[in-house]
């Protein structure tokens, strides 16, 4: 890992650790580097949206994807000082399987002087069938 990659990793991890709901939802960083972030969130019955099926609430999935996307921005080569969600569109493809962790993979694919663009996918154990996909725009403050 280069010094730049180490710095990006530290910044992105500090970004996630500063978000109270990330900890409350049990989010964990699996991978962060070069404008990409992978976060997991364990299944937790407290966040079930439909008690009859045990499916997680869409808001929990949204929070995971938003946090992963923000982390991808913070890990981008532009090395922003901060970021905030401007717009995040999520398409829910199917219910997450009850009892399974959710993994969000986000990629920051373009950064301008003030906006970063991100795409993300959330999956459970069936990685071939996404639970949700997202595209978003995030404000950035560059050094």
DSSP secondary structure of 53-85: TTEEPHHHHHHHHHHHHHHHHHTSTT--SEEEE
The pTM score is: 0.92
Alpha-carbon distance of 112 to 132, in angstroms, equals 26
pLDDT digits (tens, 9 = 90+) for 74-127: 999 998 999 999 999 999 999 999 999 999 999 999 999 999 999 999 999 999
Among 5-19, 47-61, 88-102, which stretch is predicted with the lowest mean pLDDT? 5-19
Strand-pair partners of 32: 37
Eight-class DSSP state of 23: H
């Amino acid at each position: 890992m280069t010094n730049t990659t180490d710095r990006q990793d530290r910044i992105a991890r500090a970004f996630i650790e500063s978000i109270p709901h990330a900890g409350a939802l049990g989010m964990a960083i699996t991978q962060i580097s070069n404008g990409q972030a992978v976060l997991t969130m364990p299944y937790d019955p407290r966040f079930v949206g439909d008690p009859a099926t045990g499916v997680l609430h869409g808001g929990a999935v949204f929070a995971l994807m938003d946090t992963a996307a923000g982390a991808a921005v913070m890990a981008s080569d532009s090395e922003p000082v901060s970021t905030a969600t401007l717009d995040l569109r999520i398409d829910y493809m199917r219910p997450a399987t009850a009892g399974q962790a959710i993994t969000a993979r986000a990629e920051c694919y373009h950064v301008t002087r003030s906006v970063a663009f991100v795409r993300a996918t959330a999956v459970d154990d069936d990685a071939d069938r996404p639970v949700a996909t997202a595209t978003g725009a995030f404000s950035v403050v560059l050094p």
